[in-house]
């Protein structure tokens, strides 16, 4: 399914866009953000355009059925194809591309770099 909203750049000059649908966890988003800010040497701004608002619960191993819902394991966000995940501004094109390549390597989805 293709995204209908969240497909255009709103805040930055460059953006990274998901090319296929996926559930991104909060840990994956944070790992990509940290890699991007380190690659830019903390110059410029990074905007995260997705928010993990869906709870994934798990019951412990070898527990019998019943006795209610399991505890929260992690949070995810549903990303559709074409959704912008991150935006950048305040750096050169070369630093932005390097930051997006290092950050995109942390994400389990094909991504594309787009310019405003």
52-75 tens-digit pLDDT: 999 999 999 999 999 999 999 999
pLDDT at 80: 96
* Distant-in-sequence, close-in-space partners of 67: CB < 8 Å, separation ≥ 6: none
* Distant-in-sequence, close-in-space partners of 100: CB < 8 Å, separation ≥ 6: 14, 16, 36, 86, 88, 111, 113
Residue 116, pLDDT > 90, answer: no
What's the pTM? 0.90
Task: Please check whether residue 73 is in contact with residue 4, taking contact to mean a CB–CB distance below 8 angstroms.
Answer: no
**Token pair listed for 42:** 């903390």
């Amino acid at each position: 399914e293709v995204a209908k909203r969240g497909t255009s750049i709103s805040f930055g000059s460059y953006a990274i866009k998901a090319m296929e649908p996926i559930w991104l966890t909060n840990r994956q988003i944070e790992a990509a953000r940290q890699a991007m800010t380190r690659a830019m040497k903390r110059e410029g701004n990074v905007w995260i355009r997705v928010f993990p608002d869906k709870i994934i619960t798990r019951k412990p191993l070898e527990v019998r059925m019943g006795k209610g819902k399991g505890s929260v394991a992690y949070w995810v966000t549903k990303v559709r194809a074409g959704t912008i995940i991150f935006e950048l501004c305040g750096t050169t094109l070369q630093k932005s591309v390097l930051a997006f390549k290092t950050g995109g390597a942390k994400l389990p989805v094909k991504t594309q770099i787009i310019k405003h």
